[in-house]
Amino acid sequence: MSPLSRRELFVSAAFGTLALAGCGTSAAPRTAATPPATTPPAPPSPPAVTPPTAADWRALAGSLTGTLVLPQDGAYASSRLVYQLRFESAMPQAIAYCASAGDVQRALDFARAHGVRPIPRCGGHSYAGYSTGDGLIVDVSRLDQVTVGAGSASVGAGTRLIDLYAATAASGVLVPGGSCPTVGISGLALGGGIGVVGRRYGLTCDQIASLTAVSADSRVLTVAPDSEPDLYWASRGGGGGNFAVVTGFELTTHPIPPLTLFDLAFPWAAAADVLGAWQQWVAATPPELWTNCLLLFGSGATTVRTAGVFTGDPATLQPLLDRLVSAAGAQPSSQFVAPNDYLAAMLVEAGCSELSLAQCHLAGQSPGGELDRTSLIAKSQYVASAYPGAALDAAVGAIESFAAQLPALGGGLAFDSYGGAINAPAPSATAFVHRDALCQLQLSVSGATRAQDVAAGQSWLASSAAALAPYSNGQAYQNYIDPTLTDWQQAYYGANLPRLIAVKREYDPDDLFSFAQSIPVSD
């Protein structure tokens, strides 16, 4: 049996660690105000905001070292597209492919002057389509250089995840990240970044040593623990698109350890026992082991399996797997356990095990790319402790109802293990508050493009999430952004929300970076 990637397991749903809502989450504090005189002068009138003319757009295009794509241009039809097929109807006023921080400054100056909403974009993978719209797309995908140094890597904000993996692997180091190869590093890192070595090394956001960003008032800022510290805190888990446009990161790297991949499939009749045993088992496994438990439906069949990555050798891993099998009380119907090279393992996780590095990119987005765009709707929950029997039954019932209600689609439930280095920081140490979970659950439906399929998928998601909600801690993952959540502020940010609002108020007081679930400027 060959290992199956998360992407393959979720029926090409890109059911991995995806990016989110634009690319930026940084900005700058305003300069200190001059103390008022006895008779304060009248404040200056704000500059008039006038809709852009054709001449204004031409002037912006001429000012960029990158490229401005307008609706009348031949490249517009492809440039406006994002990863999710469901948002193909979005018609931005223009797409600015920024080749420098200066280009970002000019794009934001233009947006403010003409009342056009700037929409940061790098990978364009927002589950809710927040990286597109009817404004000016500020695209940083051309900022994709990676330079590996001693203990860290300088990474352009538009770098695709698979390219980051390839560049760091060539130097014998890694940066923890997700599994979707075409996601942009900005959205991934700014909202968290959960991946297959996370229990050992932490989230992607935990690797941010510093970043460079262009603020809402077009200042270029260096953001680090000793420079803009509040913004640095907010940028590690506060979510993309909220505070500014990030143009680059300095990310901590780690030497590549030995890796072993595993994949165990079980008979569907054992699904409840496998999930229950997995949740008990993962709580006691060492941080060197990352694993998930997948209950899926696709191609007319239900599936239960557990897969993962171990930073060690097969001989050390095998007793841990034997313990799981014994606890589940069922023998795997198939199994795979084998060592793997780091980059090869990341290609497996990306669903690119049979593809070259060049092919492991979106078709039409990168030369030689062969991956397709997709349609995905999803919800997420956090699980604090192992499910009781009623919750296990609800999880199994959710997949069986999927098979009955959505036979032409694919998807299901993915439980990703937390603990180890993910849970080591205090919830308030970074903006990423989800530091005490046993695992994270993502519920997903892929392949729904017709309105009736989307509606049916959303109905299944809502009913399944409601059935499992009593067994969650009420939180949700901001990188799996969910426009149907009514309590999203608390679900994404919890006790960290007041501080994030204060950072937003300081760095973007006029709410230039605004979308349906952006951090507000007031309570």
118 assigned to some structural domain: yes
In a domain, 239, yes or no: no
In a domain, residue 321? The reply is yes
| Domain-embedded: residue 200 | no
Q: Is 104 within 8 Å of 140 (Cβ atoms)?
A: yes
User: How many Cβ atoms from other residues are within 10 Å of residue 50's Cβ?
Assistant: 10
**Cα angle value 29/216/159 (rounded, 5°):** 105
Report which of 241, 147, 209 is spatially closest to residue 513, judged by C-alpha positions: 241
Q: Which CATH number characterizes residue 103's domain?
A: 3.30.43.10
Contacts of 10 (CB under 8 A, 6+ apart): 16, 294, 296, 298, 410, 411, 412, 414, 444, 446
Whole-number Å distance between alpha carbons of 188 and 178 = 8
Give the global pTM. Answer: 0.91
Residue 164 to residues 143, 172, 176, 346, 517: CA-CA distances in angstroms?
A: 12, 12, 10, 11, 28
Element (H, E) at 308: strand 301-310
> Tokens representing 507?
């760095």
Under a CB-based contact definition with an 8 Å cutoff, are residues 271 and 304 in contact? yes
Residues 6+ apart with CB under 8 A from 326: none
Contact 303, 296 (CB under 8 A): yes
Q: Using CA atoms, how far apart are residues 523 and 519, in angstroms rounded to an integer?
A: 10
- Give the H/E segment covering residue 97: strand 94-97
107 located within any domain: yes
pLDDT (tens, 9 = 90+) of the chain, 523 residues, equals 545 444 444 433 333 333 332 333 333 332 333 333 334 444 455 567 899 999 999 999 999 999 999 999 999 999 999 999 999 999 999 999 999 999 999 999 999 999 999 999 999 999 999 999 999 999 999 999 999 999 999 999 999 999 999 999 999 999 999 999 999 999 999 999 999 999 999 999 999 999 999 999 999 999 999 999 999 999 999 999 999 999 999 999 999 999 999 999 999 999 999 999 999 999 999 999 999 999 999 999 999 999 999 999 999 999 999 999 999 999 999 999 999 999 999 999 999 999 999 999 999 889 999 999 999 999 999 999 999 999 999 999 999 999 999 999 999 999 999 999 999 999 999 999 999 999 999 999 999 999 999 999 999 999 999 999 999 999 999 999 999 999 999 999 999 999 999 999 999 999 999 999 999 999 8
Q: Specify if 61 maps to a domain.
A: yes
Give the integer Cα–Cα distance in Å for 95 and 78: 11
User: What SS3 class is residue 145?
Assistant: coil
Beta strand spans in 326-375 (E): 334-340
CATH number assigned to the domain comprising residue 303: 3.40.462.20
- What does residue 359 show for φ and ψ, rounded to 5 degrees? -70, -20
For the chain, the helix, strand and coil percentages under 3-state DSSP, each to the nearest 5: 30, 20, 45
Alpha helices in 2-100, H assignment, sequence order: 6-9, 54-63, 76-79
pLDDT at residue 365, as a whole number: 87
Residue 309, in any domain of the structure: yes
C-alpha 102, offset from chain centre: 26
Which residue range forms the structural domain that includes residue 388?
Answer: 258-342+364-484
Cα 94 to Cα 315: distance, rounded to the nearest angstrom: 55
Which of 115, 139, 163 terminates a domain? The answer is 139
| Residue where a domain stops, chosen among 139, 164, 188 | 139
Q: How many domains does the chain have?
A: 2
Q: Strand pairing of 94-97 and 118-121?
A: unpaired
Given 109, 139, 169, the domain boundary residue is 139
Model pLDDT, residue 48: 76
The pLDDT score that the predictor gives to residue 307 is: 97
Question: Does an H or E element contain 376, and which?
Answer: strand 376-383
Q: Are residues 127 and 262 in the same domain?
A: no
Residue 73 belongs to a domain: yes
